[in-house]
Amino acid sequence: MYQREGNLYADSLNLNKEGIMSKVLIKNIGRLQTPMGSYSHKGKEQGENNKIDNTWILIQDDVIIAIGAENNVPTNLQDVDKEIDAFGGLVTPGLVDGHTHLIFSGFRQNEIVMKLKGASYLDILRAGGGILDTVRHTREASAKELYIQAEEAITEIMCSGVTTMEAKSGYGLDFDNEIKMLNVIKELNEKTKMTLVPTFMGAHAVPPEYAGKADEFIEMLCEEIMPYVKEHELAKYCDIFCENSVFNVKQSERYLGKAKELGLGLRIHADEIDAIGGSKLAGEMKTASAEHLISINEEGLESMAKGGTTAMCLPGTSFYLGAKFAPVREMIKRNIPVAIATDYNPGSCPSFNLQFVMTLGYLKYRMTPEEILTAVTINPACALGLEKEIGTIEVGKKADLVIWDAPDMEMLCYRFGTDLAMNVIKEGEEIE
Chain contacts with Fe ion (rule: CB under 5 A): 343
Neighbour tally for 191: CB within 10 Å? 11
Q: Which is nearest to 278 in space by CA: 315, 307, 316? A: 307
Beta strands in 107-169 (DSSP E): 162-168
Q: What share of the chain is helix, strand, coil (3-state, %, to 5)?
A: 35, 25, 40
User: Which of Fe ion, ligand NIG, none does residue 317 bind (CB under 5 to 8 Å by kind)?
Assistant: ligand NIG
Q: Are 177 and 136 in contact (CB under 8 A)?
A: no
Neighbour tally for 392: CB within 10 Å? 24
- Contact between 310 and ligand NIG by CB under 6 A: the answer reads no
Q: Which residue is nearest to ligand NIG (CB)?
A: 347
Q: Are 369 and 48 in contact (CB under 8 A)?
A: no
DSSP tag of 266:
E
- Output the CA torsion sign for 190, 194, 197, 203: negative
User: Which of Fe ion, ligand NIG, none does residue 315 bind (CB under 5 to 8 Å by kind)?
Assistant: none
User: Which of Fe ion, ligand NIG, none does residue 337 bind (CB under 5 to 8 Å by kind)?
Assistant: none
What's the one-letter identity of residue 122? L
Nearest to ligand NIG of 35, 98 (CB atom): 98
Nearest to ligand NIG of 235, 390 (CB atom): 235
Contacts of 263 (CB under 8 A, 6+ apart): 230
- Contact between 105 and ligand NIG by CB under 6 A: the answer reads no
Q: How many CA atoms lie within 13 A of 120 on its CB side?
A: 7
- Contact between 267 and ligand NIG by CB under 6 A: the answer reads no
Nearest to Fe ion of 243, 343 (CB atom): 343
**By CB under 6 A, which span of 151-159, 215-223, 341-349, 391-399 interacts with ligand NIG?**
341-349
Select from 27, 31, 180, 269 the one that contacts ligand NIG (CB under 6 A): 269
- Contact between 101 and ligand NIG by CB under 6 A: the answer reads yes
- Contact between 199 and ligand NIG by CB under 6 A: the answer reads no
User: Which of Fe ion, ligand NIG, none does residue 134 bind (CB under 5 to 8 Å by kind)?
Assistant: ligand NIG
**C-alpha–C-alpha distance, residues 1 and 379, integer Å:** 30
Contacts of 221 (CB under 8 A, 6+ apart): 202, 203, 255
State which of positions 112-131 bind ligand NIG (CB under 6 A): 130-131
User: Which of Fe ion, ligand NIG, none does residue 373 bind (CB under 5 to 8 Å by kind)?
Assistant: none
Q: Which residue is nearest to Fe ion (CB)?
A: 343
State which of positions 346-375 bind ligand NIG (CB under 6 A): 346-348
> Shortest distance, CB of residue 171 to ligand NIG, whole angstroms?
7
**C-alpha–C-alpha distance, residues 38 and 393, integer Å:** 10
Q: How many CA atoms lie within 13 A of 225 on its CB side?
A: 27
> Shortest distance, CB of residue 343 to ligand NIG, whole angstroms?
5
Q: How many CA atoms lie within 13 A of 409 on its CB side?
A: 27
User: Which of Fe ion, ligand NIG, none does residue 38 bind (CB under 5 to 8 Å by kind)?
Assistant: none
User: Which of ligand NIG, Fe ion, none does residue 131 bind (CB under 5 to 8 Å by kind)?
Assistant: ligand NIG
**Residue 96, strand partner residues:** 164
**By CB under 6 A, which span of 13-21, 33-41, 218-226, 340-348 interacts with ligand NIG?**
340-348
Site string for ligand NIG, 133-152 (x = CB under 6 A): -x------------------
- H helices present in 10-110, as ranges: none
DSSP tag of 222:
I
**C-alpha–C-alpha distance, residues 147 and 103, integer Å:** 8
Nearest to ligand NIG of 130, 428 (CB atom): 130
Site string for ligand NIG, 152-191 (x = CB under 6 A): ----------------------------------------
Q: Are 391 and 35 in contact (CB under 8 A)?
A: yes
Site string for ligand NIG, 202-241 (x = CB under 6 A): ---------------------------------------x
Q: Is 209 exposed, middle or buried (0-12, 13-18, 19+ CB in 10 A)?
A: exposed
> Shortest distance, CB of residue 261 to ligand NIG, whole angstroms?
24
Q: Where along the sequence are the contacts to ligand NIG (CB under 6 A)?
A: 101, 130-131, 134, 241, 269, 272, 317, 343, 345-348
